[in-house]
Amino acid sequence: MSHAARLPFLTDEPWRVAVVSPTGRYARNQVAGMIEAGTPLVAGVALGRGGTAMDGLPLYDRIADCPQKPNIALIYTPAEGVRDAVIECAEAGIATIMAVAEYVPVHDALAATARARAAGSWLVGPNTLGIYVAGRGLLGSIAPSFCRPGRLAMIVRSGTLALAMARQLTLAGIGQRIVAHVGGDAVIGRNPHEYLQAFAADDATAAVLYCGEIGGDKEYAFAEAARGFPKPVYAMVVGRHAPAEKQMGHAGALIGSAREGAAAKLEALAAAGCRIVNGPEAAVAMLGGLKELR
């Protein structure tokens, strides 16, 4: 992906959001939160419920049945149905797809991410709290009250950290262009470095904060993308004190070798020109001094 690429949900095109499998308890609560946040929901997709409505949201049997074609689909299908739901949305030409479920089988995630990418869709997740864009709305469950409008783009691998970091920045008066939880699994639709590359061309982004973690090699791809990046990039890696070969929190956070540990990743990020921060308090202090964010 070139630096000229753009995140489809940050273009000028108005959001038209469909929710796939909205009728479960968790999804229904999410729908209520998104409506409260001003997210423009146009349809729900629930097989067998077409022609009815849920909390004022019209329901259709399939994504292709929606009379107003969505450009964003939020998938609340249980883990075993995620692959087919993502593929159906990708084949319908939906630009942004978000898969919420945790515990999606790796082979299903590989198939879903490959099909979404081939269709040109931007897949967020699986295993994600979603995305919040001030002034546009909420996709998922990042609390809008934790956020405030600003020029800092946040790319985060941990959902808990996404919430905590946004809240601390907001309390310190540092606003966010976007808070993006990219997904906690080892296999996700789009990796952190792809978000970074897209922010190069985003005039509303003045700086980027990346919150990485132990496990996998996503930080090395991010470091390569950060080399020569035209805006300040701040980076932290959580799990600096995690033991090797012990899974920490979710599927993606597991140190299988020294290369997957925090120390090696921080060294690579620093060598690429990222400004290293050692935790949320340090991030707030450093970002608070950046005039571009004030």
Confidence band for 21, pLDDT divided at 50, 70 and 90? very high
pLDDT in tens, 248-266: 455 444 555 678 888 999 9
Confidence band for 3, pLDDT divided at 50, 70 and 90? very low
| Phi, psi (degrees; rounded to nearest 5) at 224 | -65, -40
Q: What is the pLDDT of residue 261?
A: 84
Residues 6+ away with beta carbon under 8 Å from 135: 149
The mean-pLDDT minimum among 5-9, 174-178, 249-253, 254-258 falls in 249-253
- List the domains of the chain with CATH numbers: 8-124 (3.40.50.720), 130-293 (3.40.50.261)
User: Once rounded to an integer, what is the mean pLDDT over residues 72-100?
Assistant: 98
User: Once rounded to an integer, what is the mean pLDDT over residues 269-276?
Assistant: 98
Q: What is the pLDDT of residue 1?
A: 38
- Whole-number percent of the chain with pLDDT over 90: 87
Buried-state track 149-169, b at ≥16 Cβ within 10 A, e below 16: ebbbbbbbbbbebbbebbeeb
Q: What is the pLDDT of residue 2?
A: 42
Q: What is the pLDDT of residue 255?
A: 57
The mean-pLDDT minimum among 124-128, 236-240, 251-255, 256-260 falls in 251-255
pLDDT in tens, 182-191: 999 999 999 9
User: Once rounded to an integer, what is the mean pLDDT over residues 17-30?
Assistant: 97
250 is catalytic: yes
Q: What is the pLDDT of residue 11?
A: 94
Locus of tokens 């419920």? 49
Q: What is the pLDDT of residue 257?
A: 66
User: What's the mean per-residue pLDDT of the chain?
Assistant: 93
Q: Using CB atoms within 10 Å of the CB of residue 280, give its burial: 0 to 12 exposed, 13 to 18 middle, 19+ buried.
A: middle
**What is the chain's alpha carbon radius of gyration, rounded to the nearest angstrom?**
18
Reply yes or no on whether the pLDDT at 242 is more than 80: no
